[in-house]
Structure 1
Amino acid sequence: MGLKRKKNAGSPEVASIRNDYVRSVERQEKRQQAHKVRLFRRLSVFGVLVLLATIWIGTTIYAQSQSMAEKEAQRAETLAALEEVEKEQAQLEEQIMLLNDDDYIAKLARKEYFLSDEGEIIFTTPNEDHKNEEDEVKEE
C-alpha cells in the first residue's frame, strides 16, 4: 500500500490511498467511461444510418409522386384524345349511314355537281367569296 500525495491549488497536500479497492474502483470507472464512449459511438452510427435511410425513403417517395403526377397528366391527355376520336368515329358512322341512303346521295349530287331531277332548272347565285374576289380584281 502506497500513499500518493496530490497537490491542490487551494488546499494543503492530500494523500490518496493506493490500495486494491481504490485501484478496482478506478478500473471500474474507466470501464464505465469506455462503455459510455462506445455507447455514444454506436448511437451516433445508428443515428446516421437512420438519417440516411430517412433521406433515401423521402427521395424515393418524392420521385414516385412526381412519376404518378406525370402519368396522371398523360392519362388525362389520352382520355381527351380518345374522346375526340370517339366523336370523329360517331360522325363517320353517321356519314356512312347517310351515304347508304339514296335520297341523301341524290341531294348531295344535286348540290355539289349541279345535277338536276327531271323538270328542275338550276340557277347559280354568286357566293360571298366569289363577290370578294371580283371586288379585289376590280381594285387592281
Structure 2
Amino acid sequence: MMQGPEEKVTPIDTDFAKQQTAKMIKEHRQAIFRRRRLGLLFVIALTIFGFVGFNLYQDQQKVNELQAIKKEAVADQKVLADNVADLKTEVKQLQDEDYVAKLARSRFFYSEDGETIYPLPGDKQTDKTDEQVQKALENTHSSTTTEK
C-alpha cells in the first residue's frame, strides 16, 4: 500500500521540536496579522484618496463653470462698455442744437419754411412714420367722433 507524504513523516516528540513548531505557528499568526493590518491600512488609504480625488474633481468642475461665467461676463462687459461709449457720444451730440434739428428733420420729416419733403417708398423710416401717422390720424378721428 502506498502512503501519502504526510503519513510517512512522523514528528519527533522532543522539547526542541515542540518549540520549533510553536515558533512556526507564532510566526504564521504574526504574518497573517501583518497582512490583515496592511490590508486595512490599504483600504483606509484608498478611501481617503478616493474622497480627496472626488473633491478635487468637483472643485475642478466648479472652476470650469466659473471660468465660463467669467468669459460671458467679460464679453457682456465689453458690449456694455461699447454701448456706454455710444450713448455718451449721442448725449454730446444731442446737446448740439444743429444736430437735434437735423435729426428731427430726418426722422420725423419736419421741414423748414418753404421746404417740401418727398418720402420714398420702401424706406424703413418712411414705413414706420406712415404707421405712426395712420395711428395718430385714427386717434384724432376717434377722439373727434366721440366728442360730437
- Corresponding position of 1:25: 20
Q: Which amino acid aligns with 1:54?
A: F
TM-score w.r.t. length of structure 2: 0.71
The whole-number CA distance in structure 1 between the counterparts of 2:117 and 2:10 is 137
Between stretches 24-33 and 120-129, larger displacement belongs to 120-129
CA distance in 2, matches of 1:123, 1:9: 125
Task: State the secondary structure of the residue aligned to 1:17.
Answer: coil
- Bigger strand fraction: 1
Q: Unpaired segments of 5 or more residues in structure 1?
A: 1-7, 134-140
> What is the aligned partner in structure 1 of residue 78 from structure 2?
83
Gaps of 5+ in 2: 131-148
Higher helix share: 2
Question: So what's the TM-score if we normalise by structure 1?
Answer: 0.75
Instruction: Determine the C-alpha separation between the residues in 2 that align with 1:60 and 1:76.
Output: 24
Percent identity over the alignment is: 22
Q: Is the 8 A contact 1:114 1:122 kept in 2?
A: no
Q: Give the direction of change, closer, same or farther, for the CA distance of 1:57–1:113 in structure 2 (3 Å limit).
A: same
Q: Does 54-63 or 122-131 show the bigger shift?
A: 122-131
**Aligned residue pairs, count:** 123
| Alpha-carbon distance in 2 for matches of 1:109, 1:10 | 117
Higher relative contact order (CA 8 A, sep 6+): 1
Query: In the alignment, is the contact (CA less than 8 A) between 2:105 and 2:111 conserved in 1?
Result: yes
CA separation of 1:107 and 1:9: change in aligned 2, threshold 3 A: closer
